[in-house]
Structure 1
Amino acid sequence: MTETLLAAKASSGLTFAQLASHLGLDEMCVAAMLYGQASASPQEAAKLCDLLGLGKDAVAFLTRYPIKGCLDPVVPTDPLIYRFYEIMQVYGLPMKDVIQEKFGDGIMSAIDFTLHVDKVEDPKGDRVKVVFCGKFLPYKKW
């Protein structure tokens, strides 16, 4: 179904940002829905499917509770996705230590979370700006 959703998006000529504007959501949220990594409300799914010319089977797919984070293979081979994997391999432990110095022992939520991607123009070549913003959740003691 993901392929059907993405093909419909491509043939619509609409960007993720344009779809998001129609839904009152962020473009990353809409992209996650189309990739089957986030669920839509029935109203959001119906509106999205109307924009993309899709039927009830797509609405049902978009409103289900997805199995998240199922990338195959485990080490991604797509060059752009692999770079994020590589970034975590190099900077994951340093990021963890810096976060824990600032907040204590805990994690950044991926549930109470936003993700934004921006283009930053630079004379030496445009840059990709990725901002993760997640609620800090301390580990509880019992």
Structure 2
Amino acid sequence: MKSIFPIVSITCLWVAVACSKPVPNPPQAQPITQTVAFRLAQAKSYDAPVYNGLMAEVKLTISKENIHTGANTIVWDSTINMQRIQLFPQAVSPALIVKNIGNIIPDRQQLRTSVVVRYITNQNYTYHKAVGTAMPHHTNFKQVEVTL
């Protein structure tokens, strides 16, 4: 009787291992490409003499944000150097800056855009305006309005 127990237990173990199914891995999200278009223009006409000497600088940034940890990695940025506000494009003919950002894993990452505008008046006062937004996963295109 004692000699049958090891044989039966080994047979049961072998059957259990042979019949077990491997645990399937969850499907991996495929990397996607998203497009961001910054539309840059004056918000109004700055032709009046009161605006002489008004300067502006624009900083545009696109970053990948890890949606689990909140960590950000800048993937593209650009600065339009300080210049007279009258030199920026008018609303009827805005500047369009388009960037395609690839290799975004939707279940782990999202794009985040930010715009920082710095103004300096002719009296040397400085003003800042900053806006940041996340790009939804379900869209491949986002237009960001940058108005001065």
Question: Please, what TM-score do these two structures have when normalized by structure 2?
Answer: 0.20
Query: Relative contact order, CA 8 A, sep 6+: which one is greater?
Result: 2
Which protein has the larger Cα radius of gyration, Structure 1 or Structure 2? 2
Greater strand fraction, Structure 1 or Structure 2: 2
Question: Please, what TM-score do these two structures have when normalized by structure 1?
Answer: 0.20
